[in-house]
Amino acid sequence: MRFFRCLTIEVRSVVKVAIPWAVFLSVFSAALIAVMQVRIRGLGLGSERITVGDCLLCLTFGSPAIELGLGTVSMAPVDWLVWIATMLFAASRDGIDEGRGIGSSLLVACGSRLRWWLVRCVASIVGVTILCLIVWVSSCAVGMLCGATADLGVSEGACSLAGFSPDNIDPLGRSEFAVFMLSVLAMLAALSILRLALSELGARTLSVVIILAVVCLAVWIPSDLLPGSYLMLSRSSCAVMGGVQPFAGLCYAGIVGAISAGIGAASFAQRDIVGGGERS
Amino acid sequence: MSVRLDHVSKRIRGRAVLDDVTLDIPSASIAAFTGPNGSGKTMLLRAIAGLLLPTEGKVVVDGTELGADAEFPSSVGLLIEYPVFLSHLTGFKNLELLASIKRVASHDDIAETLENVGLDSFDKRKVRSYSLGMRQRLGIAAAVMERPKLLLIDEPTNALDVQGVEMVKEVFAEARRSGSTVIFASHDREIVSQLADVVFELYDGALVKEGSA
């Protein structure tokens, strides 16, 4: 029971820090949806109303692989980069610092370093999940206020804007799109635990930068081994032939999260809690 | 709750912060660690709390070896270094949060403890508006509210006025009366002589003197 009591406290602390970022991302995604709608109508790409699926596509589309060369930075999907960077940054905000004051007392009351570490990992997952849900739900809400239909399918206009055939997103494949969104959530959660583990190993400041750099590499390098490939709909098999499988993304996220949690637990078990995040 | 340290040493980044410390503190007593800044007083408190893992030696609290039999003492109240709290909550809410883990202290216990340390249990102000003295009182309240068998307090009279010092004396005396062991660190020899039954003097991480106050 102590685990769940500690978890409640840590989740409240993590969510409190993440809420302002969720608001920012919600406003950002609303702007993206508005731009998408204007572009679809302006370019005459589709006469039907946009869908809730279109709103989610807005955030997660990314881009097909960009060949390295002159001008490739300017071609990078800025909207996707902003969304991912903000999500990773928001998810990296720590809860209660166990090295100081009430944090040390909570750690000791928790009774076990492993239990406290697991609390932090689970709280991180919960924080990312809440953050994602807030952003996605608010995106859908904004879209529906703008006239979007409550349909997880992607409209012809949005497909044309994204540059791929609507035939690739099978209307009957909504469940695969849902699995893709789940894999995005899982990958973000796994990366947040990886950030915790890197921070525990001493790369507290660099951990977010390192992870962001690795994720962004996928913009230029189309590799199944890069986590960023599983965060972009443009690389997913539910949108393009031969794309990465969302289910594989779920498994990959599970492996990354489990290994990160294990490494972090081993490191935390040996850490001296000397206050201010110092390490011996 | 007795505390025993057997040849405890700790090196951090090549520097010996604790050097072959051996001491014995009996139950229901008040012990003080004293010495200049950097002598290892706080590190010793952290080692007894289980927050610092000795490089050599062992820490035994009430017959339980930390690191082998348990990670932390089973019943301990801490105030080590700065009294840091969740600044967006009131003092009462902070204590309520801490008490929610073990559920030993009730709402009435928390309110009574706050009154005993000179704080208003109905105060709606957030901790961020507290003075240093108020935070110190809140830190002491957090440490004693569950009536732990072991109290570890670093610089208990820091930022406290005359009434605050009297409050600390009363809190320590009450803890001893109820059978708890109190260990505090202070560089103020007058406070040490007023409060402690036994004094351990540290210098450069080593125990150089032991005796009654």
Task: Compute the CA torsion angle A25, A28, A33, A36 (nearest 10 deg).
Answer: -130
Measuring CA to CA, which residue among B157, B138, B152, B206 is closest to residue B180? B152
Question: What integer pLDDT is reported at residue A92 of this predicted model?
Answer: 74
pLDDT band for position B3 (cuts 50, 70, 90) = very high
Would you put residue A71 in left (φ > 0), alpha (ψ -120 to 50) or beta? left
CB count within 10 Å of CB A166 equals 17
CB contact under 8 A, B85 and A102: yes
CB contact under 8 A, B76 and A108: yes
Q: Which long-range contacts (CB under 8 A, 24 or more apart) does A163-172 make?
A: A163/A64, A164/A234, A164/A239, A164/A240, A168/A238, A168/A239, A168/A240, A168/A241, A169/A238, A169/A239
Closest-CA residue of chain B to A9: B97
**Which of A5, A100, A274 has the CB atom closest to B100's CB atom?**
A5
What is the spatial distance between Cα A55 and Cα A242, in angstroms, rounded to a whole number? 24
Q: Tell whether A273 is within 8 A of chain B (Cβ).
A: yes
Pairing of strands B64-65, B206-212: unpaired
Please report, rounded to a whole number, the percentage of residues in chain B having pLDDT higher than 70: 100
pLDDT band for position B81 (cuts 50, 70, 90) = confident
With contact defined as beta carbons under 8 Å apart, do B91 and B114 qualify?
yes
Closest-CA residue of chain B to A112: B71
Average pLDDT along chain A: 82
Question: Does the predicted TM-score (pTM) go above 0.95?
Answer: no
End-to-end CA distance of chain A: 31
Helix A113-145 vs helix A52-60: crossing angle, to nearest 10 = 130
Q: What is the pLDDT of residues B112-121, one digit of tens each?
A: 999 999 999 9
Which of B101, B128, B150, B154 to mutate: most A Cβ within 10 Å?
Answer: B101
- Quote the minimal CA–CA distance from B162 to chain A in Å: 24
Which of B42, B71, B94 to mutate: most A Cβ within 10 Å?
Answer: B71
**Alpha carbon B93 to its chain's center:** 21
User: Any residues with CB less than 8 A from the CB of A37 and at least 6 apart, and which?
Assistant: A50, A146
pLDDT band for position A172 (cuts 50, 70, 90) = very low
User: Any residues with CB less than 8 A from the CB of A209 and at least 6 apart, and which?
Assistant: none
- Quote the minimal CA–CA distance from B66 to chain A in Å: 11
pLDDT band for position A279 (cuts 50, 70, 90) = very low
Residues of A in contact with B41 (CB under 8 A): none
- Quote the minimal CA–CA distance from B12 to chain A in Å: 5
**Alpha carbon A179 to its chain's center:** 14
Q: What is the pLDDT of residues A241-256, one digit of tens each?
A: 788 888 999 999 999 9
**Which of A102, A111, A272 has the CB atom closest to B72's CB atom?**
A111
Which neighbouring-strand residues pair with B58? B6
What is the spatial distance between Cα B169 and Cα B191, in angstroms, rounded to a whole number? 9
pLDDT band for position A169 (cuts 50, 70, 90) = low
Question: What integer pLDDT is reported at residue B190 of this predicted model?
Answer: 86
pLDDT band for position B146 (cuts 50, 70, 90) = very high
Q: Tell whether A236 is within 8 A of chain B (Cβ).
A: no
With contact defined as beta carbons under 8 Å apart, do B57 and B8 qualify?
yes
Measuring CA to CA, which residue among A7, A4, A27, A5 is closest to residue A15? A7
Both tokens of B82, joined, read 């700065």
Q: Which amino acid is at A238?
A: C
> What's the whole-number mean pLDDT along residues A176-201?
89
Q: What is the pLDDT of residues A126-137, one digit of tens each?
A: 988 988 888 888
CB contact under 8 A, A111 and B97: no
**Which of A5, A8, A108 has the CB atom closest to B78's CB atom?**
A108
CB contact under 8 A, B98 and A5: no
User: Any residues with CB less than 8 A from the CB of B69 and at least 6 apart, and which?
Assistant: none
CB contact under 8 A, B46 and A105: no
Q: Tell whether A100 is within 8 A of chain B (Cβ).
A: yes
> What's the whole-number mean pLDDT along residues A99-116?
89
HEC states along B163-184?
HHHHHHHHHHHHHHHCCCEEEE
> What is the radius of gyration, based on Cα positions, of chain B?
17
CB contact under 8 A, B101 and A5: yes
